[in-house]
Structure 1
């Protein structure tokens, strides 16, 4: 798992861990990254199913309570299959766009 921070956004790239291990590792590091917007890059994961994506649900909810974005990047599952509480996009650029839009919404109190 690689953490790369730019500004107030942390990009987490998954290398070899399973989704369950990745979620557990992110939860361990949550105190260090809770003030950042989070992008989780799952490009290296060969198979992702709805149950695997749902493992991120509690992390995403916890992060959004703190008024920060939590975006998953994968082209293996679409946003219409996953719960609507999760932000799922196919590219890192789109993840940054989602974060920017959510920050504007928070600034405007939507």
Structure 2
């Protein structure tokens, strides 16, 4: 797991390729990230599935309740199959763009 913090956003990158262990570790350490917008980068794991993405739904829900963004970056999945409650994008740039838009929405009171 590699953690990179820039401003109000923390990017957590999976370096092991084991989504379940990665999710467990992030969930366990969530308190240290709860005041940051989170980008979960699982592009390292080429065998990622939509089911794996869905396993992040509870953590996403908890994080978003704190008025912070939670975006998953994944590669090689059908993004149309990802539930609307989970934000998943194919690149880090798109993740940063989503967070920027959500910050503006929160500032405007939406």
TM-score using structure 1 length: 0.95
2:90 counterpart residue number: 90
Deviation of 1:75 after TM superposition, in Å, equals: 2.0
Equivalent residues in 2 for 1:47-58, closer than 5 Å: 47-58=47-58
Deviation of 1:76 after TM superposition, in Å, equals: 1.7
Deviation of 1:28 after TM superposition, in Å, equals: 1.1
Deviations for 1:61-97, whole angstroms, at most 9, x for unmatched residues? 0111000000011122233111101111111011000
Aligned 8 A contact 1:78 1:89 in 2: no
TM-score using structure 2 length: 0.95
Gaps of 5+ in 2: none
1:61 counterpart residue number: 61
Aligned 8 A contact 2:46 2:75 in 1: no
Deviations for 1:17-66, whole angstroms, at most 9, x for unmatched residues? 41111111001110100000000111110111121111100011011100
- Matched residues in 1 for 2:5 and 2:95: separation? 14
Aligned residues: 110
Gaps of 5+ in 1: none
